[in-house]
Structure 1
Amino acid sequence: MQPIARILLTGAVVASAVAVGGQPAMAGGDSHIVLPGQSIQAAVDAAHPGDTIQLLPGTYDGGVRVAKPGITIQGADGATVLRPGGTNHCLADAGPSGICVIGVHGVTVRALGVEGFDAFGVIGFQTDALHVTAVHAVDNGEYGITEFESTRGEFVGNWVSGTREDAGLYVGDIADAHGTKVVGNHTSGNALGVLVRHAHNVTVSGNFADGNCTGIALVDDGQAGGQGDNRVTANIVTANNRFCPPSPDGVPPLQGAGIILVGGQRNEVSANKVDDNLGGPVPFPGGILLVPGVTAAGGPGAPAAHNLIKANVAHGNLPADLINHSGSGSNVFEANVCGTSQPAGLCV
């Protein structure tokens, strides 16, 4: 288990991410051009807040640690790729990761690839206004693109695939994410496509999730404060039918779930298209599902309550398109176009 995971599992929730949000954005700045084979880390170390690290087409060593505000790392789209090699400067904070952004405001990572890192492709920890745009995060170990204990992040227009253990895109462990956005990404072939866990005020919109073990999940994992006030809207979630075996930390096997709320309150799931998620021999298959949360020990937790499930279109999911096993009668189901539901009568 990597250092970030150890911090979170011991409950060391740090409030500094919100405090960082008061820092002003950086303007202007110089450009530092880095050629293939040269050190991105050296360029970051030499940069000042507001500077841009410009990467030309080619392959670079990853493990880049950014702890200065306002830095932009700019690639040349798919022609710029970071892979493991040389010294990984993220080890102490986040394990073997491609780019780690630690404790600062206003960093942008744009138009590059991060491939083959055992922990994270791109990770923000205690950041504010981290922007990750047009990044290809491929075949990373734990998470593809993620932020922990962070606010006002934007993950926009990324491609994330082949994340082996957890989620392609992840936002978690923050009492108030202050509108973090996960928008317009394509997530395919991961364990979970998009995961929002133990977080509030996150928008997941306009993403395409296919071929994962689970498409999109909102999870209350029993930590104080729960999960809620999130919006999942206008996503296309189709054929997330890979099989993921149970994990050593107690996550059950996953297969054939489109959008799932594991506990949580006051979430909105609306205007999504959810098709052909075909359940297997797992606890939580189906199109759109509401089930109780879990406790820290892994047992049943608080019901999924006061959630709005509205105007979704769901067909061809098994065992049903819409499943309410939430444990609460407070959820609202309105104008959902689907073929089958549990209990019956939730479709129009």
Structure 2
Amino acid sequence: MAAGLGVLAPPAAAEAGRRVHPGDSIQDAVNYARPGDIITVMPGTYYENVLITKRLTLRGFGARTVIKPPVTAVTPATPVAPPATGGSAAPAAPGAATAPAATTAPSGRALACSQADSGICVMGTAEQPVVGVDIRSLTVSGFKRNGIWASYTDRLSVQRVISEKNGTWGIAQERSTRGLFRDNTARDNAESGLFIANTVDREGGATDTLGAVVRRNTLTGNRIGVTVRRVRNLSVYGNTLTGNCGGIFVVGDEGEPGAGDMTIRNNRIHENNKFCKGNSRLPDIQGAGIVLTGAEETVVRSNDIRGNVGASPLSGGILLFKSFVGATNTDNVIRDNVVRDNKPADLANQGTGTGNRFVNNRCASSVPAGMC
């Protein structure tokens, strides 16, 4: 009837869609987008850093849409760059590569993204988090620090992204809630393929992610596949982790409340036997399946963990590891896992924590003996 009266509703995509072609600037499209817009990045290679500070969708064509570091070196007038961890400002190196100048980007955060050598940054503030950003079907490759970096976000969604060969984290988030990380590939990143933390520039108690989800990702060739540090209330399930130095690390260490209240289930964690040299905080990492340190009330169930072999203190299938700062693992449940051919042991419970239970796991060796 509406059509008969000459009233035609335009498609939503036509109202809100923007396209970026090779040679165009993704950042310019982001700057001029209205909240809720969809930006489609066409196949090609784009040499820039991208800062997002508003609700929008940024999508591409998977391996055919590639974002790489800028190739034009300039010296910024205001050298304020965060360190690799995303913390307080530090002087930028002369000649640091930056994205092309943008007319409407908030200058402070734009500099923070480009000088931090990260591919895509989603950055809000404590007073006004960025809500509802959706990043999907893109490749971010070769950045000096992070492929995707997010701070002060709510309901950030990262799906079907390839993040590879970055100098720190593949996909990382801090100070954020209700994130969804699904069907991504993070490979050959120097630190964690996928990293979720309370905050990276100081110590402190765990924060509530309000139900963040890490689901069906493939993580390979990284130092650690997935690290969740000083956070609570999230799930890590259905992921495939292989060829990393370590599979999944749950890190609490210090502060109140403690890290935990999470579920790690139905993950395939095989042969994470790459060797990574230790640092001031952790020993060498090799052959580590799932490691809990300073965690509480976490359920590890129905995972398939095989062939993780190494001679590190962190090696083995599922390990409750004594924290270097004295925090204990308490009230965790390890049940219904298949844990085979891991060395030095399939299951290990170290430290003096209480209330940890190992139930109905299919394994051959444990430390102490008797948990299989």
Relative to the length of structure 2, the TM-score reads: 0.81
Instruction: Structure 1: state its 5+ residue gaps.
Output: 1-26, 296-300
- Which residue of the partner structure matches residue 68 of structure 2? 83
| Counterpart among 324, 329, 346 of residue 294 in structure 1 | 324
- Which residue of the partner structure matches residue 284 of structure 2? 253
Q: Structure 1 CA distance, aligned partners of 2:261 and 2:333?
A: 10
Q: Structure 1 CA distance, aligned partners of 2:367 and 2:176?
A: 36
Secondary structure of residue in 2 paired with 1:178 = strand
Q: Structure 1 CA distance, aligned partners of 2:357 and 2:188?
A: 35
Question: In the alignment, is residue 127 of structure 1 matched against residue 157 of structure 2?
Answer: no
Q: Structure 2 CA distance, aligned partners of 1:102 and 1:116?
A: 21
- Which residue of the partner structure matches residue 241 of structure 2? 209
Question: In the alignment, is residue 312 of structure 1 matched against residue 337 of structure 2?
Answer: yes
Question: In the alignment, is residue 92 of structure 1 matched against residue 112 of structure 2?
Answer: yes
- Which residue of the partner structure matches residue 47 of structure 1? 33
CA apart distance, 1:186: 0.3
Tell me: CA distance 1:239–1:109, structure 2 relative to 1, closer, same or farther (3 Å).
Answer: same
- C-alpha contact (below 8 Å) 1:62/1:97 kept by paired residues: no
- Which residue of the partner structure matches residue 22 of structure 2? 36
Aligned residue pairs total: 312
| Counterpart among 145, 155, 172 of residue 197 in structure 2 | 172
Tell me: CA distance 1:151–1:178, structure 2 relative to 1, closer, same or farther (3 Å).
Answer: same
- Which residue of the partner structure matches residue 84 of structure 2? none
TM-superposition CA deviations, 1:164-195 (whole Å, max 9, x none): 1x200011115100010000000000000000
Q: Structure 2 CA distance, aligned partners of 1:246 and 1:32?
A: 46
Secondary structure of residue in 2 paired with 1:338 = coil
Question: In the alignment, is residue 194 of structure 1 matched against residue 187 of structure 2?
Answer: no
Q: Structure 2 CA distance, aligned partners of 1:154 and 1:181?
A: 5
Q: Structure 2 CA distance, aligned partners of 1:277 and 1:235?
A: 14
CA apart distance, 1:91: 4.3
Counterpart of 2:309, as a letter, is L
Secondary structure of residue in 1 paired with 2:209 = coil
CA apart distance, 1:292: 2.4
- C-alpha contact (below 8 Å) 2:254/2:294 kept by paired residues: no
Q: Structure 2 CA distance, aligned partners of 1:205 and 1:34?
A: 34
Q: Structure 2 CA distance, aligned partners of 1:260 and 1:139?
A: 24
Counterpart of 2:346, as a letter, is D
- Aligned residue runs from structure 1 range 1-348, under 5 A: 30-68=16-54, 70-85=55-70, 86=72, 87-88=98-99, 90-93=110-113, 95-103=116-124, 104-164=130-190, 166-173=191-198, 175-247=207-279, 249-280=280-311, 282-295=312-325, 301-347=326-372
CA apart distance, 1:219: 0.5
Greater Cα shift, 326-335 or 47-56 = 326-335
Secondary structure of residue in 2 paired with 1:45 = helix
- C-alpha contact (below 8 Å) 1:91/1:97 kept by paired residues: no
- C-alpha contact (below 8 Å) 1:222/1:294 kept by paired residues: no
- Which residue of the partner structure matches residue 78 of structure 2? none
Q: Structure 2 CA distance, aligned partners of 1:250 and 1:261?
A: 15
RMSD (Å), alpha carbons: 1.5
TM-superposition CA deviations, 1:143-177 (whole Å, max 9, x none): 0011101000000000000111x200011115100
CA apart distance, 1:327: 1.8
Q: Structure 2 CA distance, aligned partners of 1:245 and 1:114?
A: 26
Q: Structure 2 CA distance, aligned partners of 1:40 and 1:269?
A: 41
Q: Structure 2 CA distance, aligned partners of 1:169 and 1:91?
A: 24
CA apart distance, 1:90: 5.0
- C-alpha contact (below 8 Å) 2:329/2:354 kept by paired residues: no
Q: Structure 2 CA distance, aligned partners of 1:71 and 1:221?
A: 36
Counterpart of 1:340, as a letter, is S
Q: Structure 2 CA distance, aligned partners of 1:290 and 1:283?
A: 11
Q: Structure 2 CA distance, aligned partners of 1:191 and 1:333?
A: 27
CA apart distance, 1:119: 1.1
Q: Structure 1 CA distance, aligned partners of 2:111 and 2:175?
A: 19
- C-alpha contact (below 8 Å) 1:254/1:284 kept by paired residues: yes
- C-alpha contact (below 8 Å) 1:263/1:326 kept by paired residues: no
Q: Structure 2 CA distance, aligned partners of 1:223 and 1:62?
A: 38
- C-alpha contact (below 8 Å) 1:171/1:195 kept by paired residues: yes
CA apart distance, 1:226: 2.4
Identity %: 41
- Which residue of the partner structure matches residue 77 of structure 2? none
- C-alpha contact (below 8 Å) 1:275/1:287 kept by paired residues: yes
Relative to the length of structure 1, the TM-score reads: 0.87
TM-superposition CA deviations, 1:241-284 (whole Å, max 9, x none): 1111122x42221111000101210001000000000012x221
